[in-house]
């Protein structure tokens, strides 16, 4: 996702601007650029590719300029091109901006600016901001008034920084629903979209709030209210982190950070255009056979999708583990294969898609990494936009994939007449409420889950049970546990127990049961009968449950019931935390567990 940095100093800034954008690379990006003031005009250097690629062409580190801003772009509006990379400038290059976020009213603003004679160089929403400032400057001749006038016209979300030769000693910055902070240094000040941009140079920061803007010079800064223009007194916060920790945003591990990013990742997934969902739904609706494809976690995501397609759209879409796909394959030109992959590089999934294509099948994918092999090889891709997932163990990417499959199932259900317009609206409202419900778990249940993890950290064998759509959740929860703790954990449907596995139950085998809300009726009752079966044989049962009244469990975590549609997601978040805290209790290498790679590119 995009990143912003900037430096204004009494000394050359090349090194610090370069280090600043390098430290934002972890967010993921496709292009980058810088702008700096040179002899009373602004120079821009930008391109697609990595910071080092751009640096090797443009020598960012050698810059002798003293004022500059920089950006890493993760494309949203407009393709990945040099023209669309930030910074963006006004017609005469007098106002140069970098931006994170989405300007919701940019089309209207762009039309107005075009009518007023402005010329655009890119397809981005960001460029309107530079022209808007220029437009206001033509009226007032004052940079700050032009800046404020432009900001007041913007709708949507932004973290912004701007430089101009009309005020060559300052960086202007502002935020609305996107983080922007000022770093207060010695003989230099900084701006950044997060602390990583300048943590190596100063730990003293001023955090802008929504509706505030900052004007930063070499040895001072001021923050004002956008509405009133009054100066806002800010306190300096000293970040007690070293730079390595701060790259994890203050979390001890990327896994925990990424678990905590899930509310935002879900919001991003819900803001993906209906047209993108509809395009893949078109392909699924047109196919005679649909296969959902993934491996490891993404196989469980696919299985979750299979239940959703059946339940919401009355549609048969079997999940196949991509390592087995070739052995089962009956695809032909009437088939659609929908692959799911965080990295977009997983060998088995790539090979299965290749195989299906050779047999004439249509292909689509849900992928997190733009430009990856799978994203490029399929007929249609939905880029899930979950931001970089650094921890080898997948959390936020998987949850978002499940959300996107839910959106696809809702779309298909509407088309196939299995969901009325009213039910569709209810489902969409339920999805919109989900980020807040995940936040409640993260904020209010983490302590309880951590305590439970430490209580049970010495357990050697876990069985994870679920029924119906809670079955793939139990599978994924068990995979989280085993891959990050190295503790044996197997998932299975509750109904399987009495067909052999009950023989393993004793006081040493712990069983985690993912229980649906009581409103699930028969599914709830059947799940509880699995609990009884384990209890009757002296087994220890840990319940993740929505029913505060039911106290049959030996230990339990009670969640607040959301809608029926979104109820399976919350136990998954709880199970991720349980695996994480068990791993920390056992002092495992959480972010890089043994024998697991982020991108499995071998057979």
| Spatial separation of the C-alpha atoms in residues 152 and 513, rounded to whole Å | 52
Write down the least CB distance from residue 101 to ligand F6R, Å: 27
Q: Which is nearer to ligand F6R, 289 or 592 (CB)?
A: 592
For ligand F6R, which residue has the nearest CB? Answer: 296
Write down the least CB distance from residue 576 to ligand F6R, Å: 10
Write down the least CB distance from residue 295 to ligand F6R, Å: 5
The backbone torsions φ and ψ at residue 461, rounded to the nearest 5 degrees and listed phi first, read -140, 125
- Nearest CA to 74 out of 245, 268, 251, 280 is that of 268
Write down the least CB distance from residue 75 to ligand F6R, Å: 20
Q: Helix (H, G, I), strand (E, B), or coil: what is residue 320?
A: strand
Q: Which is nearer to ligand F6R, 367 or 541 (CB)?
A: 367
- Nearest CA to 361 out of 284, 294, 416 is that of 284
Q: Helix (H, G, I), strand (E, B), or coil: what is residue 135?
A: helix
- Nearest CA to 395 out of 600, 255, 191, 588 is that of 255
Write down the least CB distance from residue 389 to ligand F6R, Å: 8
- For this structure, is 598 an active site residue? yes
Please write down the long-range contacts of 301-306, taking CB distance under 8 Å and 24 or more positions apart.
301/340, 301/398, 301/401, 301/402, 301/405, 301/472, 301/476, 302/340, 303/471, 303/472, 303/475, 304/402, 304/405, 304/469, 304/472, 304/473, 304/476, 304/568, 305/338, 305/340, 305/402, 305/405, 305/408, 305/409
User: What are the distances in angstroms from CA 516 to CA 232, 242, 462, 524?
Assistant: 49, 42, 20, 6
For residues 141 and 71, the answer to whether their CB atoms sit within 8 Å is no
Q: Which is nearer to ligand F6R, 55 or 483 (CB)?
A: 483
Indicate left, alpha or beta for 417 from its phi (over 0: left) and psi (-120 to 50: alpha).
Answer: left
Find the catalytic residue in 357, 482, 535, 598. 598
Q: Which is nearer to ligand F6R, 129 or 292 (CB)?
A: 292
Interface residues with ligand F6R (CB under 6 A)?
A: 295-298, 341-343, 346, 349, 393-394, 479, 483, 599-600
Q: Which is nearer to ligand F6R, 5 or 576 (CB)?
A: 576
Q: Which is nearer to ligand F6R, 172 or 569 (CB)?
A: 569
Write down the least CB distance from residue 215 to ligand F6R, Å: 44
438 burial level (CB within 10 Å; 0-12, 13-18, 19+)? buried
- Residues with a catalytic annotation lie at 2, 598
């Amino acid at each position: 996702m995009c990143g912003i940095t900037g430096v204004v100093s009494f000394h050359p800034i090349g090194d610090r601007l370069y280090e600043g954008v390098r430290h934002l690379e972890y967010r993921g990006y496709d292009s980058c650029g810088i702008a700096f003031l040179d002899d009373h005009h602004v120079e821009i250097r930008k391109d697609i590719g990595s910071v080092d690629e751009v640096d090797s062409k443009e020598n960012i580190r050698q810059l002798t300029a003293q004022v500059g801003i920089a950006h890493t772009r993760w494309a949203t509006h407009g393709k990945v091109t040099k023209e669309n990379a930030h910074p963006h400038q006004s017609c005469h290059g007098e106002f140069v901006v970098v931006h994170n976020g989405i300007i919701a009213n940019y089309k209207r603003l762009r039309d107005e600016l075009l009518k007023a004679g402005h010329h655009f160089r890119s397809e981005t929403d960001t460029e309107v901001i530079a022209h808007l400032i220029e437009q206001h400057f033509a009226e007032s001749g004052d940079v700050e008034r032009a800046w404020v006038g432009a900001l007041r016209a913007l709708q949507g979300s932004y973290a912004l920084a701007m430089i101009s030769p009309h005020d060559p000693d300052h960086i202007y910055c502002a935020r609305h629903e996107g983080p922007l902070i000022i770093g207060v240094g010695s003989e230099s000040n900084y701006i950044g979209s997060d602390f990583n941009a300048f943590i190596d140079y100063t730990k003293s920061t001023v955090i802008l709030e929504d509706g505030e803007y900052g004007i930063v010079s070499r040895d001072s800064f001021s923050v004002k209210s956008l509405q009133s223009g009054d100066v806002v007194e800010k306190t300096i916060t000293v970040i007690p982190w070293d730079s390595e920790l701060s790259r994890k945003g203050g979390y001890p591990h990327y896994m925990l950070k990424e678990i905590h990013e899930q509310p935002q990742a879900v919001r991003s997934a819900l803001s993906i255009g209906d047209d993108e969902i509809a395009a893949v739904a078109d392909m699924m609706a047109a196919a005679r056979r649909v296969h959902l494809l993934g491996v490891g976690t993404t196989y469980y995501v696919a299985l979750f999708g299979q239940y959703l397609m059946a339940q919401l759209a009355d549609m048969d879409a079997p999940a196949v583990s991509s390592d087995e796909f070739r052995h089962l394959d009956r695809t032909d030109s009437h088939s659609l294969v929908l692959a799911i992959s965080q990295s977009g590089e997983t060998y088995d999934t790539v090979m299965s898609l290749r195989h299906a294509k050779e047999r004439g099948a249509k292909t689509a994918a849900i992928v997190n990494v733009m430009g990856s092999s799978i994203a490029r090889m399929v007929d249609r891709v939905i880029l899930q936009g979950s931001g970089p997932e650094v921890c080898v163990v997948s959390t936020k990417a998987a949850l978002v994939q499940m959300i996107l499959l839910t959106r696809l199932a809702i779309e298909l259900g509407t088309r196939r007449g299995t969901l009325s317009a009213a039910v569709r609206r209810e489902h969409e409202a339920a999805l919109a409420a989900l980020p807040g419900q995940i936040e409640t778990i993260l904020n209010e249940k983490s302590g309880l889950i951590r305590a439970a993890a430490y209580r049970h950290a010495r357990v050697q064998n876990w069985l994870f049970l679920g029924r119906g759509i809670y079955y793939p959740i139990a599978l994924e929860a068990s995979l989280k546990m085993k891959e990050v703790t190295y503790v044996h954990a197997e998932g299975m449907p509750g109904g399987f127990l009495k067909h052999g596995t009950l023989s393993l139950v004793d006081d040493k085998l712990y069983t985690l049961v993912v229980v649906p809300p009581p409103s699930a009726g028969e599914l709830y009752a059947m799940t509880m009968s699995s609990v009884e079966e384990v209890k009757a044989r002296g087994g220890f049962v840990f319940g993740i449950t929505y029913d505060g009244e039911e106290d049959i469990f030996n230990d339990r975590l009670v969640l607040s019931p959301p809608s029926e549609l979104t109820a399976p997601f919350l136990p998954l978040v709880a199970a991720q935390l349980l695996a994480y805290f068990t791993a920390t209790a056992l002092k495992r290498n959480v972010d890089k567990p043994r024998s697991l790679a982020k991108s499995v590119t071998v057979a």
